[in-house]
Amino acid sequence: MSIIHFQNWQPAHLSYSTISTYRMCSRKTYFEKVLLLEQRPGLAAIAGNAVHTATEAIDRQIFEQGWGVLDDDPPTPEVVDDTPAPF
């Protein structure tokens, strides 16, 4: 029998992170491991993903078009006013 169990559920194996999470908050372990609920990413993760996506796009352009692509002026984005009209 495992040291971590909820009703009829027991983990297939115990990792350090599972034991650590259980010791800090058993309910969190239940939500993550038994109910398989996922957490929403935090603001730092969202921002980090955006930075990685942007730098990957720049790297891809440099790979495909060469370093000269950085010398070109970027296109000016079109500003669209999408505010709803007042009633």
- Interval 13-19 mean pLDDT: 83
Residue that is written with structure tokens 């007042």 in the block: 86
What's 67's DSSP letter? G
> What pTM did the predictor assign?
0.44
pLDDT digit string, tens, across residues 28-87: 888 888 888 888 889 999 999 999 999 999 899 888 988 887 777 777 778 777 777 776
- Residues 28, 21: Cα–Cα separation, whole Å: 7
